[in-house]
Amino acid sequence: MKRLALFLPVLALAVAAPSYGYDPMDDLVSTAKKEINAKDAIATQKDRVATDPRRKKVERGFWQFFQAKSDAKPGEFCTAVYWKNDRMISISGPGGGYKGAFLTFIAIEPKPPFPRPDDPKTIQKVKVTLKQGNDAPATITAFNRTIANFSDEIRFAVPTIDAALAGMEDKLAFRIDYQGTEIFSLEWHAGFAARDMLRRCLSGEKVEGSEVL
């Protein structure tokens, strides 16, 4: 299958730990936490939750786009994030000295057994099993870090952004197991529109603040 040919084998070859500088994901997960807390606070106000436009987007899932570094040159560090409730998936492109791409899964305030480094400022390697769509699962070494002290991510390195883009389908479900337990599951929609927006960013166009619903 195309997804396995483009994503899983190349992810398994990733051996160099990624370098993290300033990352807008810190701000994004903080915003997500506020949204989750707000939802909990007004859980009894059903009508308000049902009619709040932002809450509708979060419940249904949507894409956001930005460059993941404040001083990025046009076309560098382009990032697409799919956000639904307390889960996110991001695809980010090359920048600076890194020529590859990343496929990242983020959990807002995850519970064990979701892995977390003992030192929140460090990155550790973990072995997880990734399943995409109806394809067979594959066990892969990934990178694990903490974001903004309360969220955690599983990140896979992809050798090229072209491989990442080619593997994007309009609807695609992901599941991650760690130590025999499911720790993450999410299906995105509007993947083709997100791919097109990401390509616009890679070509040098400013996409900060753009969304795909």
Tokens of 60: 């249904």
How confident is residue 2, by pLDDT bands cut at 50, 70 and 90?
very low
Sheet holding 211-212: strands in order across?
181-188, 172-178, 124-132, 138-147, 151-158, 101-108, 87-92, 78-84, 62-67, 211-212
What are the φ and ψ backbone dihedral angles of 41, each rounded to 5 degrees?
Answer: -70, -30
Sequence ranges of the domains in the chain? 2-205
> What is the share, in percent, of the chain residues with pLDDT greater than 70?
81
Q: Pick the residue with more confidence: 44 or 79?
A: 79
Q: What is the pLDDT of residues 63-101, one digit of tens each?
A: 999 998 888 999 999 999 999 999 999 999 999 888 999
Report how far residue 42's alpha carbon sits from residue 77's, in angstroms, rounded to the nearest whole number.
37
How confident is residue 8, by pLDDT bands cut at 50, 70 and 90?
very low
Q: What is the pLDDT of residue 20?
A: 43
Q: What is the pLDDT of residues 92-118, one digit of tens each?
A: 999 988 899 999 999 999 999 999 999
Contacts of 129 (CB under 8 A, 6+ apart): 137, 138, 139, 140, 176, 177, 178
Q: What is the mean pLDDT of residues 122-127?
A: 95
Which of 19-28, 130-139, 170-179, 203-212 has the least mean pLDDT? 19-28
What are the start-end ranges of the E strands in 51-114? 62-67, 78-84, 87-92, 101-108
Average pLDDT, the chain: 84
How confident is residue 193, by pLDDT bands cut at 50, 70 and 90?
very high
How confident is residue 51, by pLDDT bands cut at 50, 70 and 90?
low
- Identify whether 113 is preceded by a cis peptide bond (ω within 30 of 0): yes
Q: What is the mean pLDDT of residues 131-136?
A: 91
Tokens of 33: 């936490």
Q: What is the pLDDT of residues 142-151, one digit of tens each?
A: 999 999 889 9
Contacts of 161 (CB under 8 A, 6+ apart): 78, 93, 94, 100, 101, 202
Q: What is the pLDDT of residue 32?
A: 77
